[in-house]
Amino acid sequence: MRHWLLLRLTAALTVGGAASAKAQSPPTARQLLDRYVAEALAANLALAQQSAALTRANAGVREANGRFLPSVGLNARYSEFSGVINIGDFINPAYRALNQLVGESRFPTNVNASLPLRQETKFELTQPLFNDALFGARAAARAQRDLAGATRKGAMRQLAADIQQAWLGYASTVRAVETLESTLPVLDENVRVSERLIGAGQATPDVLLRARAERSELLQQIEEARRQSNAARRGFNVLRNRDDDAAISLVDDSTLLAVDTLSRSALLAHALTHREELAQAGTGISLARAQQRIATAAYLPSLALAASYGVQGDRYRFNTRSDVSLASVVLSWNAFNGGQDAARREQASATRTEAEYRQREVERAIGLQVLNAYDAVQSARSTLVTADDRVASAERAFALVQRRFAEGLATPVEFLSARTAFTSAAINQVITRFTFATRVVELERAAALRALPN
């Protein structure tokens, strides 16, 4: 019976054995994580907000481009007057006097004209001919669009890392629960053996009390591990915008270790070329440069063409006598405004300098992240062998104590101590493997190794 329990505990504590038996051709950890990353990138709500921000920025670029095109509008006015001056009141008496002098009705005496005119309807066209501020505004809109795009890509890269780390956190808690649950039959058997020994007069009651206390402690650990597993599952499903209790697939844990890392110099060069934070810093410089151009444009004149065509009068008449057309070339040049333009240009120049310093700071921060992540992966890789050796040694020690305990040569204290060491070593192996995988994910994020969709 004890040999059967030992074989069961050994099989459960050997990480990856259970996962391999569940499917004939299971996916690797990389394949499964890639699938979950693609799912999260398509469904995550926070990333959807970034996509909406990029759509808004693209619309801003189209708006800036539209300012170079002519604008055409229709303006119509029809008014009812009360108490306004009628020019006919002044003209009609003079015309009557002239008619009397010449003895003919040569001049009209029923002139009825109020100012403003009762109706005015016209099409208006405005076309900018030269305005350097428009070029600066367009450059600023493009920089805002690039910034929104880089921010969205940065959010995608962070989400890719978060979803992988969340899965690794959940999988590690599942493995911990499996390890602890597989130990429970051993402690149940230890309680039964202790009861038989006391009944046979071969042990004192404290042996049974110790066995029960050990079992209760394990049950408490299992319950806490289950709570952590449920919390990790809910957090993972939130990232992929799924129900809290949605199923999550697991893989053979040994596939977590199939990782090839580049050299430090290659990783650093890749990060400085592909990290979105550097693109954001670069767009900050472009935006400051555009603001400088807008501020400098205030020193230059602006030139525009304005034209209008329509009808006006006391009532609507569509004929050549009622048509009104106007064409103008408008020049605007601000000669002095209290030094505001100079202050704005100085602010833009300072903003550009600030953005350049920020870019240099980001470069150094990224380099530090890559080097720290690389060292963390190497350190975690070196502990994998140690963890495996610890499990192997603890397994052999437990087997020896198990045999001696079955023959009555080992005390219950020795048995429980060997069992605890074996379980602790198995839990440590789970933690070590998943810690290594988590650090690989962080290195992937720091060096921008994952290719992201557009």
21-30, 236-245, 284-293, 367-376: segment of lowest average pLDDT: 21-30
pLDDT, one tens digit per residue, over 267-281 is: 999 999 999 999 999
Nearest-angstrom CA–CA distance, 262 and 143? 33
Contacts of 41 (CB under 8 A, 6+ apart): 47, 156, 159, 160, 452, 453
What are the DSSP calls for 294-318, one per residue? HHHHTTS-EEEEEEEEEEEESS---
pTM: 0.79
Kindly state the average pLDDT of the residues 81-105: 81
Residue 251: burial class (beta carbons within 10 Å; 0-12, 13-18, 19+): buried
Kindly state the average pLDDT of the residues 136-148: 95
Place of tokens 């004890």: 2
CB 277 within 8 A of CB 45: no
Nearest-angstrom CA–CA distance, 446 and 285? 23
Q: What is the token pair recorded at 370? A: 């890559």
Measured CA to CA in angstroms, residue 363 lies from 207, 274, 360, 369, 398 at distances of 63, 11, 5, 10, 52
Has residue 285 got a pLDDT over 90?
A: yes
For the chain, the distance separating the N- and C-terminal CA atoms, rounded to the nearest angstrom, is 59
Percent of residues, the chain, with pLDDT higher than 90? 62
pLDDT, one tens digit per residue, over 406-452 is: 777 888 778 888 988 999 999 999 999 999 999 999 999 999 999 99
Place of tokens 């000669």: 335
Which residue has better confidence, 338 or 424?
A: 424
Percent of residues, the chain, with pLDDT higher than 70? 94
Nearest-angstrom CA–CA distance, 69 and 118? 33
H or E stretch including 126? strand 119-130
Nearest-angstrom CA–CA distance, 340 and 334? 11
Assign 289 a pLDDT band (cuts: 50, 70, 90).
Answer: very high
Mean pLDDT value across the chain: 87
DSSP state of 24: S
15-19, 368-372, 432-436: segment of lowest average pLDDT: 15-19
pLDDT for 24: 53
Is the peptide bond preceding residue 205 cis, with omega within 30 degrees of 0?
no
Alpha helices (runs of H) in 131-259, residue ranges in sequence order? 132-199, 205-239
Architecture of the domain defined by 2-70+131-300+339-446? Up-down Bundle (1.20)
Kindly state the average pLDDT of the residues 381-391: 94
Nearest-angstrom CA–CA distance, 52 and 43? 13
Place of tokens 């619309």: 59
Write down the domain spans for the chain.
2-70+131-300+339-446, 80-115
CB 181 within 8 A of CB 215: no
CB 113 within 8 A of CB 315: no
Nearest-angstrom CA–CA distance, 147 and 135? 18
CB 159 within 8 A of CB 109: no
Closest CA to 377 of 452, 293, 441, 311: 441
Burial of 94-116, coded b for 16+ CB within 10 Å and e otherwise, reads ebeeeeeeeeeeeeeeeeeeeee
pLDDT, one tens digit per residue, over 230-279 is: 999 999 999 999 999 999 999 998 888 877 778 999 999 999 999 999 99
Assign 290 a pLDDT band (cuts: 50, 70, 90).
Answer: very high
Dihedral over Cα of 209, 215, 218, 223: its sign: negative
Closest CA to 114 of 91, 83, 86: 86
Closest CA to 261 of 435, 442, 385: 442
Kindly state the average pLDDT of the residues 117-129: 90
Residue 411: burial class (beta carbons within 10 Å; 0-12, 13-18, 19+): middle
Beta strands 119-130; 302-313: pairing state: antiparallel
